[in-house]
Amino acid sequence: MIIPAIDIQDGCVVRLIQGKFEEKKIYSSDPVKTARHWVKLGASFLHVVDLDGAMQGVPKNLGLACDIARNVAVPVEFGGGIRTLKVIKELLDAGFYRVVLGTKAITDERFLKEAYSKFREKVIVSVDAKQGSVQIAGWISDLKGMDSSALCLRLKKTGFKRAIYTDTLKDGTLAGPNIKGIKNLLSKTGLKLIASGGISSLDDIYRLRRLEKEGLEGVIIGKALYEGKITLSQALKV
């Protein structure tokens, strides 16, 4: 799957570099219009992140995100600051296809197990890593003693069949994806992955597509689409 990313901060569609909030570029003040744009161009799935929520630990752009889910006819996954089972249920009831979990699910194993037990494939965990070390709290903290492989194995043991994997040093840089890191996780864990971070060209997508048989299900693309490095139609043809 080719999945356009819609990252929302202060009500606007933005892209950050390596998750740094001080290094952002605004692409639109209308996230719903952006979502419709990608769907019109052929997107069959959207990845929406509340960056303010990820930093503050509670969704801050929920109204806008719900507007997206209501106004497009494709599945939408949403993440950013989701720390309770109640909020997960509210998001699913609001029309989101899937909820993306991060910090709380990673640091609280009981919550992780409860979330999976209650919602199954309707929740997915985002494994965000910097040089292999898991990042939490909007990528501002390392989770000591936990690398991406260990986290993915924990997810698999809990029952999860897939995860989102982002190399935070690659994200927003247009420097190419961490192919080695993705292959390593696929081979070590047996989890299916959706990869994110650094995609900059059609060649990157071709290289990632070769990992499909190993369990790579899709790629989340942000800056390359917004900067016109590749078009969505080109990516979909690959």
CB 187 within 8 A of CB 163: no
Residue type, 212: E
* Cα 30 to Cα 225: distance, rounded to the nearest angstrom: 16
* Cα 211 to Cα 57: distance, rounded to the nearest angstrom: 34
CB 178 within 8 A of CB 170: yes
Residue type, 108: D
The single residue of 50, 128, 167, 204 carrying the catalytic annotation is 128
Identify whether 204 is a catalytic site residue: no
In three-state secondary structure terms, 84 is: coil
Identify whether 7 is a catalytic site residue: yes
The single residue of 7, 50, 167, 204 carrying the catalytic annotation is 7
Which among 39, 36, 27, 96 has a CA at the least distance from the CA of 66? 96
Both tokens assigned to 199:
């995609």
Going from the C-alpha of 175 to that of each of 94, 121, 187, 210, 226, the distances in angstroms are 36, 31, 23, 19, 15
Which among 117, 121, 118 has a CA at the least distance from the CA of 99? 121
Residues 6+ apart with CB under 8 A from 154: 109, 112
Question: Diameter of the chain by CA atoms?
Answer: 44
Place of tokens 């990992």: 211
Which residues carry out catalysis?
7, 128
